[in-house]
Amino acid sequence: MSPNMILNLGLAFTFISLAIYISNKIKFSSIPFLILVGMLVGPHAPEVSGISLALVQRTESIDLLSRLGVLLMLFYLGLEFSAGKLAATGPALFKGGTVYVGLNFVRGLVFGRLFFQNWPEAFVVAGITGISSSAIITKLLVDLKRTANPETEFILGIMVFEDVFLAIYLSVLSGLLFSGGHLAAWDIIPGIALIFLFIISIIVLGRRIGALLEPRLSIKSAESFVVIVFTMLLLTAVLVETIHIAEAIGALLLGLVLAETVHSKRVIQFITPMRDLFGAVFFFAFGLEIDYRLFGNAVYITLAAVLMTVLGNIFTGLLASWLAGYKARRGFNVAFTIIARGEFAVIVASLAVTAGVSQVLPAFAALYVLILAFISPVLAKQSRSFYQAYTRVVDLIPRPGVSSGKEN
């Protein structure tokens, strides 16, 4: 590793520390500050009095730590639950997850068609606005200490649902953008079926797989234990990527399996510091890629998309939660926690540019993600207040056969 690379990494952690310090001082989520600081000191940083603020480059070492951050955050979330718990919610999860993902995509498709006037761009916008950020949502659940809440099982299920949907969406999008719009169903159905079968098998058989792993992880040495678990995490990520499942979902599935063992608390104890360290790098690295100079042409459509996403996601989140059997209070936690959008939005926009569809979409995606990164922690934190406001409104509505307590 060259001295310049070490200097670059040292500067990155200096700014990461500064962002976290500021967020702690004002008692706000660190996510938007990490993204914003990354944007202000990264390759696309502004100039002040002719002096560039571009102090940190996105190198391979930062990319590696960033990817590890996502893996560890999703792995931790899986450890807080278990494959057995997730499987037990199967029918309810299927109804709620299908409605949530389906309505979000249709809403984005209509929005994209309305603002961009053609179907290829509308299809891209539907992907940008329809898929939640598993990394940001996981960080919010940890920050708000909601990982043990019952409704978080449903949020986990939605993440898995979205990953299956992503396999379908990316296959169709690639065909739409790069093959002249010609795409045969038999080209994508086998791959989708394999992904779906793999995920369902892990969830259903998680308890048995955990039972097989449990005696093999009964290791006294802390060093050996943490190295073996970390190796399992990396190998799982490699395995799932070979069948086109997001490596982060692979980490989540491994966490669900290990949660079935007696070693889950020990694993959590070891990986929590790494989760916090590398997770911060992920959000900072995400900011390094954002070019603020492109925002100008996309401000109005982005603000409209943010409004559409917040209002639409609250509706679909509440509806999906109700279908999954969660009461209003739990439903509000779900609806206000899964609003954030993330790295996938920028990836989809970049694909569209590569295919020559639109030059506005990257700026739209980056600004859209950044605004939601600031809004979503506030909404998630205040979900209880929104629920209380809802109950007060409901109490004011007169109901047939119920006396108001007033005499005529």
pLDDT tens per residue, range 270-327: 999 999 999 999 889 988 888 888 788 789 999 999 999 999 999 999 999 999 888 8
**Residue numbers in the chain where pLDDT is lower than 50:** 404-408
Is residue 164 within 8 Å of residue 195, measured between CB atoms?
yes
Q: What is the pTM of this model?
A: 0.79
Predicted pLDDT of residue 407: 42
Q: What is the pLDDT of residue 103?
A: 94
Pairing of strands 47-48, 51-52: antiparallel
Written in H, E and C, the secondary structure of 176-214 is HHHCCCCCCHHHHHHHHHHHHHHHHHHHHCHHHHHHHHC
Other C-beta atoms closer than 10 Å to the C-beta of 7 total: 12
Say if CB 32 and CB 370 are below 8 A apart: yes
- What is residue 404's predicted lDDT score, i.e. its pLDDT? 47
Q: Residue 100 in contact with residue 317, Cβ under 8 Å? A: yes
258 CB-near residues (< 8 Å, 6+ apart)? 78, 79, 210, 213, 217, 229, 264, 267
Q: What is the pLDDT of residue 112?
A: 93
Radius of gyration of the chain (CA): 22
CA dihedral angle for residue 7, residue 11, residue 12, residue 15, rounded to 10 degrees: 170
Provide the residue ranges of all domains of the chain, joining segments of one domain with +: 3-392
Distances from the Cα of 336 to the Cα of 23, 103, 112, 278, 378, angstroms = 20, 16, 23, 25, 9
pLDDT digits (tens, 9 = 90+) for 174-189: 666 655 555 555 556 6
pLDDT value at residue 362: 81
Per CATH, the architecture of 3-392 is what?
Up-down Bundle (1.20)
Contacts 24+ apart (CB under 8 A), 263-267: 263/214, 263/217, 263/218, 263/225, 264/79, 266/225, 267/79, 267/229
Distance CA(84)–CA(64), nearest Å, equals 32
Please identify which residue in the block is written with the tokens 């989540």: 252
